[in-house]
Amino acid sequence: MKAAVFRSAGEALAIEDRPVPEPGPGQVLVAVHSCGICGSDLAMTASGSPATFAPGCVPGHEYSGKVVALGQGVTSLRIGDAVSAFPVAGCGTCEACRAGDPYGCSACAYLMGGFGEFAIAAADLCAPLPAGVSLDDAALVEPLACGAQAVRLGAVGPASRVLVMGLGPIGLAAIWWAARAGCRQIVAAAPSPRRSELAGTMGASAFIPMDDAFLQALADAFGGQAPDVVFEGAGKPGAIATALGCVGNRGTVVSSGMCFEHDSFVPGFAVMKQVRLQFSMGYLAQDFRDCVAALEAGHVEPRAMVTRSISLDRLPQTLEALREPGADCKVLVRPVG
């Protein structure tokens, strides 16, 4: 099969011919339909990055497809089932795994593989697709689930005043899930206004630019009150300090930004406000199922995040081009064309 392989940081992915992987016990083989390119794929392949993929691996963790082979003991899926594939797996037996939380397992491993024609996934964690959810929509479930977890950890409710800083797909997913939670005061903020309209489509009630007038605009947006929950998805040095500075007394800052540089903030101001600082990565198996259910119920606004689909051959050059900010939001790779 054809697959895009990571060789070393700073080197473009290489299209190679690889053997089709064999599903182990409890696993399924998925023929990949669509796989999103994630900001973490850029970060984990960047020159000089302190966190990279293992050389030789096939990245791609936001994918959908059809089950084409079953490993030993699989009863939860059948050949031909369409799924949103869960890209990590745990040991399957510990307390976290039994609760559908493989990210909480000490043996949590990244299966990925969505940048190839076929990939392996843990059968019990994949979300089967009902007839009303397309394979293209299902490729958005993974980034949407990241937003679901962030919003769950932020304990957002209908009365929350929410600020989302950084409008990458995770920030946009947090807006969408805050809207699903019934929240009506969702302010989106980013240095550039290029995704302001998209933020509105996802459910934001207002957009403010992160410029010199940011704090005044923020106060105006919430009628003089501070936000209760701030989502930080920018992943840039200084972003957590800004979030801690904006959030109100006893508020919560949820950070999902992948910043691999040293960063600093003054803890005393956060202590005085008794802020809860929560980092978030991943999701529960239930978050995947909730995303699929929301799409099935007709909440298909996330489709607006997809700016184009490309073939696997074009992935290496496209991934390199995405390092520069541009018009793209979510790009989907179609390994089989």
Binding of Zn ion by 97 (CB under 5 A): yes
Distance, CA of 40 to CA of 84 (rounded, Å): 19
Rg of the chain (C-alpha set)? 20
Stretch that binds Zn ion, among 86-94, 250-258, 263-271, 317-325 (CB under 5 A): 86-94
- Shortest separation between residue 336's beta carbon and Zn ion, angstroms: 21
For Zn ion, the closer of residues 54 and 271 by Cβ is: 54
Distance, CA of 33 to CA of 31 (rounded, Å): 6
> Which of 264, 248, 163 minimizes the C-alpha distance to 206?
163
Beta strands in 94-223 (DSSP E): 109-110, 118-122, 127-128, 161-165, 185-190, 206-209
Stretch that binds Zn ion, among 21-29, 105-113, 156-164, 194-202 (CB under 5 A): 105-113
> Which of 101, 83, 81, 84 minimizes the C-alpha distance to 93?
101
For Zn ion, the closer of residues 145 and 206 by Cβ is: 145
What are the CA-CA distances from residue 136 to residues 7, 15, 66, 148, 183 (Å)? 28, 22, 12, 19, 27
Record the tokens describing residue 293, joined without a space.
Answer: 């259910």
- Shortest separation between residue 96's beta carbon and Zn ion, angstroms: 5
Binding of Zn ion by 90 (CB under 5 A): yes
- Shortest separation between residue 37's beta carbon and Zn ion, angstroms: 9
Binding of Zn ion by 38 (CB under 5 A): yes
For Zn ion, the closer of residues 60 and 203 by Cβ is: 60
For Zn ion, the closer of residues 94 and 155 by Cβ is: 94
Cβ neighbours for 310, distance < 8 A, ≥ 6 positions apart: 318, 331, 332, 333, 334
For Zn ion, the closer of residues 208 and 254 by Cβ is: 254
Q: Residue 50: count other Cβ atoms within 10 Å of its Cβ.
A: 9
Which of residues 9, 20, 94, 259 is near Zn ion by CB under 5 A?
Answer: 94
- Shortest separation between residue 21's beta carbon and Zn ion, angstroms: 21
- Shortest separation between residue 4's beta carbon and Zn ion, angstroms: 15
In total, the chain counts a number of residues equal to: 337
Q: How far is CA 174 from the centre of its chain?
A: 10
For Zn ion, the closer of residues 91 and 241 by Cβ is: 91
Which of residues 37, 105, 139, 291 is near Zn ion by CB under 5 A?
Answer: 105
Stretch that binds Zn ion, among 36-44, 129-137, 269-277, 280-288 (CB under 5 A): 36-44
211 phi/psi in degrees, rounded to 5 = -120, -160
Stretch that binds Zn ion, among 24-32, 45-53, 90-98, 232-240 (CB under 5 A): 90-98
Distance, CA of 291 to CA of 287 (rounded, Å): 6
Binding of Zn ion by 91 (CB under 5 A): yes
- Shortest separation between residue 289's beta carbon and Zn ion, angstroms: 18
| Number of residues counted as binding Zn ion (CB under 5 A) | 6
Interface with Zn ion (CB under 5 A)? 38, 90-91, 94, 97, 105
